Each structure stands twice: as structure tokens, then as C-alpha cells.
Amino acid sequence: MASSTKYIFITGGVTSSLGKGIIAASLGKLLQARGFRVTIQKFDPYLNIDPGTLNPYEHGECYVTDDGAETDLDLGHYERFLNIPTSQDNNITTGRIYNNVITKERKGEFLGKTVQVIPHITDEIKANFYKLGEDGKVDVVITEIGGCVGDIESLPFIEAVRQAKWDLGPNNFLVIHLTLIPYLKAAKELKTKPTQHSVKQLLEAGIQPDILVCRTEYHLPSDVKKKLALFCNVQLNNVIEAMDADSIYDVPLLMKKEKLDERVMTKLKLSSKENTDLENWKDFLGKLKNPTQEVTIGLVGKYVSLPDAYKSIIESFTHAGASIECDVNLRLISSEELNSDNIIQKLTDLDGIVVAPGFGERGFEGKIETVKYARENNIPFLGICLGMQVAVIEYARNVLNLKDANSTEMDPKTSNPVIGLMEEQKNIDQMGGTMRLGSYACDLKKGSKAYQAYGKSKIQERHRHRYEFNNEYLKEMESNGMIATGTNPETGLVEIVEIKSHPWFVGVQFHPEYKSTVLTPQPLFVRFIQAAVDKKIK
């Protein structure tokens, strides 16, 4: 454990979904802007080894890192805010902790001891707390503890945080508690009692929060702040107001105004290396809030009733739109509701269409109809992962006249499997962590739309899929106008398809959205939005 590394823990109380991830990312951004090297990790209290097997409706999207870890969507926020990659070590679940301990027990590593929650589970949690700070590459490790204080499943994590204070010493350890101050309309009052109870639960677990960050719809009057300080045993200037913001990207500046970074630095005895440099961030916000043009993009998928299922895609449009001062009005459309009878009515006023990633056949035919509409009507199109596969299947059916063309995922017995299972996937019976995951190389054809977007011929993008373009159909596809413009140099697998005769039609097997950040918008999204703008002007 590197003694020079400082550790910040963020817990949540009263209710979940208060935005611990955004507060963690915002604080990380402010410390980073002062010259500190920062990383953020998320501990999730559920028993799944990782969120890879979870339905997006359970937990939002599954975010994938360069090293192929399937992680919580908060890691997407960390990368988008800090502009640095995360890894397998940045997201730990209860499932992984117990799995590690049980594996050690089976190997006899505990020398015949009785294996217990304390000390064995808590020691494993602490080892993972400290892992990112051990190599001396970061000054500050921010650890977000998922769930709510008081949840049974969070108890071992909270106990590990308590122990960490004694391991690290008071100037290397800090706890921020994120809480809610509800407003009762009938009484016209802000209420502190839920926060008092939440802090009391933390105190019962042996943890005194150093800073309270209070989510609120209204400004906190000084008497409310004083009450919180008194009853929660927190210094008055460490009661931080976190008002609801128009955009998550406003939060770093709001937290700077509230001096969250200064309070943290005082407690951790960190002396700032430089003044906070947030000029690029302010520039981005200026463009985001003052667009000079507007487009309407349809995002067609099957999880549209929960926008978090497409979090990275939605944020990619925010970054790319701002970079060309364009307001992207994103319309989420359920592919299950689309068919050949209503497709024109549902998609008629769109300037561009995205077909989203996904698994399984629910809503699949609606996606086929969507691609057909975009192709035949020259509407700018971007297909991501399954979206690219749908584009290939639609082209095979309606241009190559292979009427039963399909993916073996949807129809294992199809006589024209234009999309099939990769060879190494055929004997896999375990679901978790067994897909093609993480960063892979792709070579781009010069002159293609993808090459024009990236401005280079070699790229690296992240993947999360089992099925691939079947190269046996490549010649026939290319001679009929659908070209493979991106391929993996080692395997020859098709990564990108484009239609030559279409103004902007690109399907990608990878997930470009995972690498989009505030300061480096994803090139394909930028070009796609520009194509939508050009179509609208025409």
C-alpha cells in the first residue's frame, strides 16, 4: 500500500440513484484539473461476478473497458469526465470478492482457518481498495460504494471502509456521504431527518463522514446547513449543497463553486500544484448550451423505456454534437413497435437513424425495417454491433435476394447465415465474460467514410459480442455494393461495412460509444451528426 496515495470513499444514503458516480467523477475532474493524478473505482454490492449477464433494465447498460471487463455504467462517467481509461480493477462486485475468497479457500491458502466475513471478506475488499494506489501512479483513489448505507448487502463494504481509516491514517482517508434533503410541498419545508438517520446508520457502523454532499431541488438556507452540521457531527463548511443541474456536465463547476475540492484537499493535507484548469471544460459547456444548428436523430432499440440502457450512446451524441455546435434531439424509438405498415409514419421526420446494440430476437424485425427505410431513403445511418449485423442481414435479404438470410443467433437453421457464431464461441456454455470483449485493432480502407471520420488507417475500438459477419458472403456483398471498409488485421473479421451508393451508411461491429469523452468526442458520431446536418440543409 503506497503511503503517499490518498483514499476518498463515497457512500450514499436515503435513496439510491442520487448520483454518487457523477459526484465521484466531478470531484475527480476538479482534483485532476489541479494537477493531481486521479483514478476512480466502483464497488457494487450485488452477487453477480460482473454486470455482463444482467438485463439492461436491471442496471442500465454494461460498460466495457479496454481490457475487456464488463462493468457498471458509472465507469463510463469516470472515463468521460477524466479522459483516462479504466480497467478490470476499477469495478468490483460482492460476487467477485466472495469468488476470490472461496477460490483461495479451496486452494488451502487460509492454512486451515475458519473463513469468515471478518476478517477474510473484509481483507479481500480492502486489498481491492488499495490495489489501484499501490504502484504510485496515482495521487488519489476515489472509491464509490454502490447501494445505500443500511442495506444488508453493503455491510461488509462499510466495515472495510471503517477498517481502512485505521490502516491509512487520518490524513490519507476521507469519507463523503451523499444524501437527499427532500422538500415537502404541503409543509413548504426542506427536511433534514432522512439525512440524520442515514448518518446515524453510518455512525453505528463506526464511520463518521467528513463531508456531506446534499442533493436538493432548492437552495439550502444557512439554518438548514447548521442543523445538518450539528446533528451529523460535520463541520459547517463541509456541508455541501448539490442542486439539481440542467446537465451532468455542469456538476464539476457547481462543486467547484461549493469548494468541494478545497474541503477535500484541506482534510487530506494536499497542497495544490496549480490553479484549477477547467478552460476546455467551460469551452465544451459553452458550445453545448449555445448550439447554432439542430438535428433530430432516431435511436431504435428494444430497451428504450430505460434511457440508461443506452447511456454511452446518448452521452456520445452530447459530446459529438457540442463539438460542432449542434443540438442533437435524440428520439428513442422501440423497435418492437415498428413494422412495414407504420415505418414511414414513425421515422418520417428524422435527420439520421441509429440502430442500437442488443441481444436476442425481440424487436429484431423492426430493426430490419428501420435499416431498409434508412437505406432506401438515403437517410444517414449508423449501426452499432447488432445494428451492423441487422444492416448486413437486411442487405442480403433485399438486395442480394437471399430471402431467408439471417444470423444464427436468431435462426440457428438458416440456410444463409450471413452472420454466424465465431469458431471459438461454438463450444462455450458459460454466459459470463465469454464474449469477444475489450479493445481490438481495425484497419480502415482509405477513402471510406470511416477513414474520413478517423483521419487514420489504424484504430482500436472496444467490442462486446459473440456473432460475426460470415466472410463466405463477403465477395457477393461487395460486388453488390456493401463494402467491408474495416477489418481486424489478425483474424480478417469484418469490423465496418458501408454502402457505396449511400450518402452516409456505416455499420460497425464494435462499440464506438465506449471511448467517447467530453474532451475527445468519438469521430464516427461527429461525422454522422454532420451528415444529418448536411441532409437537413439540402
Q: Which residues contact 502 (CB under 8 A, 6 or more apart)?
A: 375, 378, 381
Average pLDDT over residues 413-421: 89
Query: For 220-259, b where at least 16 C-beta lie within 10 A, e where not — what string?
Result: beeebbebbbeebebeeebbbbbeebeebbbbbbbbbebe
Average pLDDT over residues 244-257: 94
**Do residues 234 and 302 both lie within one domain?**
no
Rounded Cα gap, residues 358 and 364, in angstroms: 9
Domain final position from 230, 253, 282? 282
DSSP class per residue in 493-520: -EEEEEETTSSSEEEESS-GGGG--SSS
DSSP class per residue in 377-407: TT--EEEETHHHHHHHHHHHHHTS--TT-EE
Q: Which residue has the higher pLDDT, 277 or 449?
A: 449
Examine the residue annotation and report whether 511 is marked as an active-site residue of this protein.
Answer: yes
pLDDT for the residue numbered 423: 63
Rounded Cα gap, residues 288 and 321, in angstroms: 7
Look at residue 81 and tell me if it is in a domain: yes
- Looking at 149-248, list the stretches that DSSP marks H as alpha helix, in order from N- to C-terminal side: 155-168, 193-204, 222-232
Look at residue 12 and tell me if it is in a domain: yes
Domain final position from 282, 316, 333? 282
Q: Is 481 left (phi over 0), alpha (psi -120 to 50) or beta?
A: left
**Do residues 311 and 243 both lie within one domain?**
no
> What's the farthest any 2 CA atoms get from each other in the chain?
76
User: pLDDT class for 23, splitting at 50, 70, 90?
Assistant: very high
Examine the residue annotation and report whether 513 is marked as an active-site residue of this protein.
Answer: yes
Q: What is the pLDDT of residues 489-528, one digit of tens each?
A: 998 999 999 998 999 999 999 999 999 999 999 999 999 9
Examine the residue annotation and report whether 217 is marked as an active-site residue of this protein.
Answer: no
Residues 48, 93: contact at Cβ < 8 Å? yes
Q: Find the range with the poorest average confidence among 295-309, 320-334, 409-423.
A: 409-423
- Percent of the chain predicted with pLDDT > 90: 75
**Do residues 102 and 190 both lie within one domain?**
yes
Q: What is the pLDDT of residues 418-469, one digit of tens each?
A: 998 766 545 555 555 456 788 999 999 999 999 999 999 999 999 988 889 9
Q: What is the pLDDT of residues 356-380, one digit of tens each?
A: 998 877 888 999 999 999 999 999 9
Rounded Cα gap, residues 31 and 277, in angstroms: 10
CATH code where residue 529 lies: 3.40.50.880
Nine-digit cell string for 37: 493524478
**Do residues 265 and 390 both lie within one domain?**
no
Look at residue 402 and tell me if it is in a domain: yes
Number of domains in the chain: 2
CATH code where residue 22 lies: 3.40.50.300
Q: Which residues contact 57 (CB under 8 A, 6 or more apart)?
A: 303, 305, 306, 309
User: pLDDT class for 1, splitting at 50, 70, 90?
Assistant: very low
**Do residues 107 and 226 both lie within one domain?**
yes
pLDDT surpasses 80 at 481: yes
Single out the catalytic residue among 77, 465, 502, 511.
511
- Percent of the chain predicted with pLDDT > 70: 96
Q: Find the range with the poorest average confidence among 295-299, 307-311, 376-380.
A: 307-311
Chain-centroid distance of CA 100 in Å reads 25
Average pLDDT over residues 215-243: 94
CA end-to-end span of the chain: 61
**Do residues 297 and 275 both lie within one domain?**
no
Binding-site members for L-glutamine are 57, 358, 386-389, 409, 466
**Do residues 36 and 148 both lie within one domain?**
yes
Q: Which helix (H) or strand (E) holds 27?
A: helix 20-33
Rounded Cα gap, residues 319 and 79, in angstroms: 13
Look at residue 73 and tell me if it is in a domain: yes
pLDDT for the residue numbered 307: 85
**Do residues 340 and 192 both lie within one domain?**
no
**Do residues 402 and 518 both lie within one domain?**
yes
Binding-site members for UTP are 16, 191-196, 227
Look at residue 1 and tell me if it is in a domain: no
Classify strands 505-508 and 494-499 as parallel, antiparallel or unpaired.
antiparallel
Residue whose C-alpha cell reads 464494435 in the numeric block: 510
The number of beta carbons lying within 10 Å of the beta carbon of residue 330 is 17
Mean pLDDT for all residues in the chain: 91
Binding-site members for ATP are 17-22, 74, 245
Rounded Cα gap, residues 157 and 10, in angstroms: 11
Look at residue 48 and tell me if it is in a domain: yes
Domain final position from 282, 304, 328? 282
Domain with 362 in it: 291-537
Q: Which helix (H) or strand (E) holds 345?
A: helix 343-347
**Do residues 265 and 314 both lie within one domain?**
no
**Do residues 275 and 297 both lie within one domain?**
no
Q: Which residue has the higher pLDDT, 422 or 485?
A: 485
Single out the catalytic residue among 385, 442, 495, 502.
385
Average pLDDT over residues 342-352: 92
Look at residue 59 and tell me if it is in a domain: yes
pLDDT for the residue numbered 95: 93
Single out the catalytic residue among 124, 159, 315, 513.
513
**Do residues 52 and 197 both lie within one domain?**
yes
Binding-site members are 16-22, 57, 74, 144, 151-153, 191-196, 227, 245, 358, 386-389, 409, 466
User: pLDDT class for 390, splitting at 50, 70, 90?
Assistant: very high
477 to 92, 394, 418, 499: CA distances (angstroms) = 43, 11, 10, 10
